[in-house]
């Protein structure tokens, strides 16, 4: 048995109107097309649904017995269409995103705020996790996508798209002696109290790499675990913090400035990570597009 939606619609229209001409007009088809759809349905069900008479079409017992199910089936299909349309138009749904604590603190909230205001029916779930947990979250589909700096080489199970390129910079008070420059070399940091994150953090690895390349001996006044701590110390004038520039660009610290560090220039890619063979839900695609509009290079 192969029953189509067009056949069901014709059946319901003929049942309600009683005549092929009226049913065809209700469906915007010709009476002969309505008659053909009815015949196809009757042949597929192996039952007569209407008796033909000069007064029109009279429903049989089989028609009376099945009309409720036919109407319900059409209603459920219509509800399905509305639900899919709502998802596609971001009127409902859920998106889950993972990000490292720094990105979850500094980059995501402004974009999430605007996206949530535009799509209040959507549920946004944020998983701020350790960097080494990002890939696992994506691959086991705990989240739709992640925001972070992936390890190389990239797993073939992942899809990666560069969102922005960030540069290590010196974050310091505007009244600091070094703040008079537009950019600084690593050599210029000698003799100043510096703040950075502890070893084991990916940023610290980049800092040590730059210091080694530039043959720069420096003194770290503070080595901390959290980026927010480093910024707070710099804001109080306890030193200048070597951190990614984005942390100042999206935070409110009017007394601080970020100066790019050069010779060498140290950059890293912040990427959108998703599972390679997975089709993302419309809500996830919408949030990714919002991130690309607001933050993309």
Q: Give the structural domain span for 219.
A: 166-268
102 is written with which tokens? 């720094």
Based on the domain organization, do 244 and 180 belong to the same domain?
yes
Q: What is the pLDDT of residues 77-92, one digit of tens each?
A: 877 766 666 555 555 6
Question: Among 28, 55, 88, where does a domain finish?
Answer: 88
Based on the domain organization, do 158 and 227 belong to the same domain?
no
Based on the domain organization, do 59 and 134 belong to the same domain?
no
**Tally of CB atoms within 10 A around 259:** 20
Based on the domain organization, do 264 and 174 belong to the same domain?
yes
Question: Among 88, 122, 146, where does a domain finish?
Answer: 88
Based on the domain organization, do 258 and 170 belong to the same domain?
yes
Based on the domain organization, do 192 and 257 belong to the same domain?
yes
CATH number for the domain including 219? 3.40.190.290
Per-residue pLDDT of the chain (297 residues; tens, 9 = 90+): 678 889 888 888 888 888 888 888 888 999 899 889 888 988 888 899 998 877 778 889 988 888 988 888 878 887 776 666 655 555 567 899 999 988 998 889 989 999 989 888 888 999 999 888 999 999 999 999 999 988 767 888 999 999 999 999 999 999 999 999 999 999 999 999 999 999 988 899 999 999 999 998 998 999 999 998 999 999 999 999 999 988 876 667 889 999 999 999 999 999 999 999 888 888 888 899 999 998 876
Based on the domain organization, do 67 and 143 belong to the same domain?
no
6 is written with which tokens? 């067009």
pTM: 0.67
Assess contact for 207 and 242: CB atoms under 8 A.
yes
Q: What is the pLDDT of residues 3-38, one digit of tens each?
A: 888 988 888 888 888 888 888 888 899 989 988 988
Question: Among 59, 88, 117, where does a domain finish?
Answer: 88
Based on the domain organization, do 262 and 277 belong to the same domain?
no
Cα dihedral 144→163→206→232 (10° resolution): -80
Quote the pLDDT of residue 1: 60
Q: Give the residue among 53, 55, 57 at the shortest CA–CA distance from 37.
A: 57
CATH number for the domain including 285? 3.40.190.10
Based on the domain organization, do 159 and 107 belong to the same domain?
yes
Based on the domain organization, do 278 and 142 belong to the same domain?
yes
Based on the domain organization, do 14 and 142 belong to the same domain?
no
Could you give the number of structural domains in the chain? 3
DSSP readout, the chain?
----HHHHHHHHHHHHHSSHHHHHHHHTS-HHHHHHHHHHHHHHHTS--EEEETTEEEE-HHHHHHHHHHHHHHHHHHHHHHHHHHHHTTSS-EEEEEE-HHHHHHTHHHHHHHHHHH-TTSEEEEEE--GGGHHHHHHTTSSSEEEE---SSPPTTEEEEEEEEEEEEEEEETTSGGGGSSSEEGGGGTTSEEEEEPBTBHHHHHHHHHHHHHT---EEEEEES-HHHHHHHHHTTS-EEEEETHHHHTS--TTEEEEEEESS--EEEEEEEEETT-PPPHHHHHHHHHHHHHH--
Based on the domain organization, do 229 and 204 belong to the same domain?
yes
CATH number for the domain including 68? 1.10.10.10
């Amino acid at each position: 048995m192969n029953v189509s939606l067009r056949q069901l619609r014709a059946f319901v229209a003929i049942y309600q109107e009683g005549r092929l001409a009226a049913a065809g007009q209700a469906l915007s088809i010709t009476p002969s097309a309505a008659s053909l759809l009815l015949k196809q349905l009757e042949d597929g069900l192996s039952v007569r649904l209407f008796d033909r008479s000069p007064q029109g079409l009279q429903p049989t017992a089989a028609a009376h017995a099945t009309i409720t199910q036919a109407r319900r089936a059409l209603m459920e299909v219509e509800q399905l269409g509305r639900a899919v349309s709502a998802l596609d138009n971001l009127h409902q749904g859920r998106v889950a995103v993972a990000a490292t604590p720094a990105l979850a603190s500094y980059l995501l909230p402004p974009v999430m705020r605007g996206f949530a205001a535009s799509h209040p029916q959507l549920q946004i779930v944020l998983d701020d996790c350790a960097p080494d947990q990002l890939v696992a979250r994506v691959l086991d589909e705990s989240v739709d996508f992640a925001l972070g700096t992936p390890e190389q080489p990239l797993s073939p199970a992942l899809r990666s798209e560069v969102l922005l390129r960030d540069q290590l910079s010196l974050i310091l008070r505007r009244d600091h002696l070094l703040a008079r420059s537009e950019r600084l070399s690593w050599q210029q940091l000698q003799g100043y109290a510096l703040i950075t994150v502890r070893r084991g953090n990916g940023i610290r690895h980049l800092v040590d790499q730059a210091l080694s390349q530039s043959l720069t001996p420096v003194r770290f006044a503070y080595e901390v675990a959290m980026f927010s701590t480093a910024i707070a110390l710099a804001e109080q004038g306890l030193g200048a913090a070597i951190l990614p520039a984005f942390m100042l660009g999206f935070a409110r610290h009017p007394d601080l400035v970020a100066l790019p560090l050069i010779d060498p220039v140290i950059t890293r890619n912040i990427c959108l990570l998703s599972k390679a063979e997975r089709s993302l839900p419309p809500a996830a695609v919408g949030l990714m597009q919002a991130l690309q509009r607001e933050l993309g290079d």
